Chains A and B, each alone.
Chain A
């Protein structure tokens, strides 16, 4: 219950998006059953209609006077029927009492009159209430609430009037019987009626003697006979016996009340079953089979199929619960019986619901949580305990039967038992515990506790309100962001166009190699822009916002990340690092080309290609390359960091949008297979933007290297087997281009001497480590070395013919590539890259810190992580 209330509190926030939710979130995709789908569809229609109608009703105001008067009338009717039912019950109990006194033998009807009448009322009245409720024209949910409340009051009234009438009878009984025991038996029945309550007191003095006598004898049933036989007036024994049995039974008022409750319970069961069969089943049968031979449509007009009555059925359970609470003290087996009965009824009812009932015409959510019903149950428990407790406290237990016979009050048995049956110390302890010395402080403590808890509840409520406010402000902020984004999108296309033009000019001005390498990248980003239909909306927005921010940064060097829903963090991170690199006097273009790539998420080129030049610094590219390397490192850092920090998020966000044609390329867990995919993508994009041509013809220097790489790739692919198809030789060459581009740009435009030494150093270190593997590195054409390196490494350990093992093999290669791409600070074994970073760190402190961070994280991360990281990187291609 507490949990429920928590839930309901949590979901209590105002429903802002009624219509959207009813349409967007309407369908339950889990539905696989055509019938269920049909009813769900009907429910959705109803739901939507209901929303529309409500909206319409909000606008128009119905004649208020009529409505109010109707509702007043309805309430009066309900109150009248409630009063009537209570009166009837009281009347019936009274009548049965009189009948009992007048007649020695009661017929079956007379015996069960009370419970039958009560059951009838509980059956009929709710339907009457329902009719009345139609007058009121409330929303179904409201009317359900009203119906529930009314039926609850009715049931409670029934139970209360019944038990009060019964207790009234008990009152008379307990006063009459003692008199009867002493008085003249022959006219006792007449005498009984005349005896009034006040006489009880003087009679009470006689009672103990009788009860003592009774206690001494063995059988409770035989007792009366004995006492009678000892009483002075000698009567006909056989006639007396029967009579005494009855009067003796009547003396047990507890038994009597228990019997009544059990009777009520049984008859309630009978009536429920009968009503299910009659009202639901027979009616259903009639409607179904007679509709053909009737002049009007039975199914849709008058009798119809029965609707499942939520209020009634729920309250029936509660009513039964109330009966249990009330009767359990007087007839201990009542709970057991009731449980059996309710289980049986549940199955019967479920059958009836499934076969003969139709769902409520207007679909509505009865209640968000079950708290309402649980609260009702609790309420019922409390109310039903009251009469029982009252009876326990008020009435003296019957003299001749039951475990409490002989006690002045029922609860006396507890103190009696404690004093007589328990050891002495226990009664001592109990006397202490029950003494005011203990009870009063305990009460005080309780009060304090209650006060304390209430204070806590108050404060929690306060906090709750505050949090809700916070949520609301956040929501509005969110809205603002979305709005901003929308505004940004409007500017997007222009931007894209601008870039394209830029790029074109690039192409003309640069060398062919540059062009061949740069254009695909550019094209990649631009293509993303321009094909929103294919890549989905989010891509476009991401691309745009990211690229825009990058441009801003490059030009103004002021980090100005646009609000972005999906990749907020990502963008936030970038500016913090990038500006420093962007600031140095360098032409805007290369920077942008790098930057743009990153947010776009074509992870592979960005990861590897920038990494390549840096390492290769020793060769031709020289200073510029190293510079580029540094820059690209940071770029890579950003990416990798993101992956680490928000791995899951990225994964989710990145994987969402584009549906690439090459799904299986997405799958590969290692680098070698990663390449082709991006490459393919590039190719596709290029095709789309008609820039394909440039990267087909490659630089002569590149070619031999590429060939080698291709070979290796193919080999490794063969080894891996499953994805051989995805590894196209050509793809590698494509891949290099970005790398080349990065280097080239830098070499051309950012060619400052700043980092010559550093670059050289880096290159040497690299040589120390890895130089043995390949000599190409030292070539000027080493721009694609990182690729080749990774390829070689993945390829080298294994002979071509060996079959997979992939996971194991892949791992090292990946770590390698990772380290290569991530400035390799991560892997301690890659000392060259470590040193390289240190070199960098002279220049850029922030880089070092970030790399250190990275290293920490990375060292923790296992190979698996690397694998996944690379995967995600691929996915970041969004």
Chain B
């Protein structure tokens, strides 16, 4: 624990560089942004967890409909409260970075969309997902009829083994055909 709060040590930095898709500048920027969220006196330790509420105040995540899911997915907290350490945070940025591959991105997308964490996207997950996208207000929300049809259509398209759920490989199969996914699944500080 030889690192100081404000600055990452050189070797740590290079390790982070090695292990993420981020460049040095990005890591440093991430670190400053991360430490900004912490109160001054607490900045000493790297393993500090920042509660999800604080993370979500970042403008990059604030308006994202999946912000909570993102936190949960990237959090290594034992209590499942979505809190992030700096390394979790770096992981997040790395997965959302420019150079992360389609596989990584689609994998994380899958986990973000997998609301109940059961490893497949079932009807409930899809409904949650659509509701996240459309928002909760009455005029934007889909009617049950529309929702049913939409989910049926989605499953029809992507559920190759016809088991009523979309699993990761099916999901990646679909996603990898999308021209926009890689470019839109991105968060830049």
Which residues on A are within 8 Å of B, measured CB to CB? 11, 16-21, 23-34, 36-38, 41-42, 44-45, 48-49, 51-52, 55-56, 475, 478-479, 482-483, 485-487, 489, 532-533, 536-538, 540-541, 565-566, 648-649, 652-653, 655-657, 659-664, 666-669, 720-722, 724-725, 804, 806-807, 867-868, 871, 875
Contacts and interface: CB of A to CB of B under 8 A. Distances in A.
B187 interface: yes
B175 A722 contact: no
Contacts of B108: 656
B188 A660 contact: no
B63 A36 contact: yes
A359 to B, nearest CB: 15
A659 B74 contact: yes
B118 A533 contact: yes
B120 interface: yes
B59 interface: yes
Interface string B59-94: 110111110000001101010000001011001000
Nearest to B64: A29
Question: Which of A48, A532, A662 has the most chain B CB within a 10 Å cutoff?
Answer: A48
Interface in B80-121: 85, 87-88, 91, 96, 100-101, 103-104, 107-111, 113, 117-120
Interface in B1-25: 1-3, 9, 11-12, 14-16, 18-19
A45 B131 CA distance: 10
Contacts of A482: 160-161, 169-170, 173
Contacts of A33: 59, 63
Contacts, number: 218
A669 B15 contact: yes
B16 A667 contact: yes
Contacts of B117: 533
Question: Which of A25, A51, A653, A659 has the most chain B CB within a 10 Å cutoff?
Answer: A25
Contact of A24 (B12, B46, B135, B174): B174
A724 B172 CA distance: 38
B146 A49 contact: yes
Contact of A538 (B3, B19, B62, B168): B168
Main secondary structure, interface of A, reads: helix
B14 A486 contact: no
Given A25-B180, A34-B62, A51-B153, 20 more contacts: A17-B158, A19-B154, A20-B158, A23-B126, A24-B109, A24-B113, A30-B188, A37-B64, A41-B135, A45-B142, A48-B150, A482-B169, A486-B167, A537-B110, A537-B167, A661-B76, A666-B87, A667-B15, A722-B3, A722-B9
Given A16-B177, A19-B150, A536-B111, A867 B18 contact: yes
A478 B146 CA distance: 31
B57 interface: no
Contacts of B32: none
B187 to A, nearest CB: 5
28 contacts: A16-B157, A19-B154, A19-B156, A23-B130, A25-B185, A29-B185, A29-B187, A30-B187, A31-B64, A32-B59, A41-B135, A45-B142, A52-B146, A52-B153, A483-B160, A486-B161, A486-B163, A533-B118, A537-B168, A541-B168, A541-B169, A565-B169, A565-B172, A655-B104, A662-B76, A667-B19, A669-B14, A720-B11
Contacts of A565: 169, 172-173
B184 to A, nearest CB: 4
Contacts of B111: 536
A655 B92 CA distance: 12
Contact of A868 (B18, B47, B181): B18
A20 B1 CA distance: 46
A844 to B, nearest CB: 34
A56 B153 CA distance: 11
B34 interface: no
A667 B158 CA distance: 36
A740 to B, nearest CB: 30
Contacts of A487: 161
B27 to A, nearest CB: 11
Nearest to A11: B179
B12 A667 contact: yes
A720 B19 CA distance: 18
Contacts of A722: 1-3, 9, 11-12
B96 A29 contact: yes
B69 to A, nearest CB: 11
Contacts of B168: 536-538, 541
B180 A21 contact: yes
Interface residues of B, number: 81
Contacts of B74: 659
B133 interface: yes
B78 A661 contact: yes
A26 B133 contact: yes
A454 to B, nearest CB: 30
Contact of B63 (A32, A479, A486, A533): A32
Contacts of A871: 18-19
Contacts of B158: 17, 20
B91 A663 contact: yes
Nearest to B114: A537
Contacts of A664: 46-47, 87
A21 B100 CA distance: 20
A540 B87 CA distance: 24
Question: Which of B73, B100, B167 has the most chain A CB within a 10 Å cutoff?
Answer: B167
Nearest to A805: B11
A32 B63 CA distance: 6
Contacts of A44: 133-134
B174 A485 contact: no
A328 B64 CA distance: 51
**Across the A-B interface, the 6 shortest Cβ-Cβ residue pairs:** A37-B63, A721-B2, A486-B161, A663-B87, A537-B168, A652-B101
A804 B113 CA distance: 42
B1 A725 contact: yes
A101 B108 CA distance: 78
A115 B50 CA distance: 67
Nearest to A47: B133
Contacts of A806: 11
Contacts of B87: 663-664, 666-667
Given A17-B178, A24-B171, A657 B107 contact: yes
Contacts of B175: 20, 24-25
A21 B157 CA distance: 10
Given A667-B16, A806-B11, A18 B186 contact: no
A563 B19 CA distance: 28
A478 B119 contact: no
Question: Which of A540, A666, A724 has the most chain B CB within a 10 Å cutoff?
Answer: A666
B144 to A, nearest CB: 12
Nearest to B73: A659
A21 B74 CA distance: 24
B103 A652 contact: yes
Contacts of B107: 536, 538, 656-657
A700 to B, nearest CB: 34
Nearest to B96: A29
B120 to A, nearest CB: 7
Contacts of B169: 482, 485-486, 541, 565
Nearest to A661: B76
Nearest to B58: A32
A804 B11 contact: yes
Nearest to A666: B19
Contacts of B157: 16-20
Given A23-B130, A41-B140, A871-B19, A537 B76 contact: no
B129 interface: yes
A24 B109 CA distance: 8
Contacts of B179: 11
Nearest to A28: B184
A486 B142 contact: no
Given A19-B153, A56-B149, A721 B1 contact: yes
Interface in B45-60: 46-47, 59-60
A538 B120 CA distance: 11
Contacts of A51: 150, 153
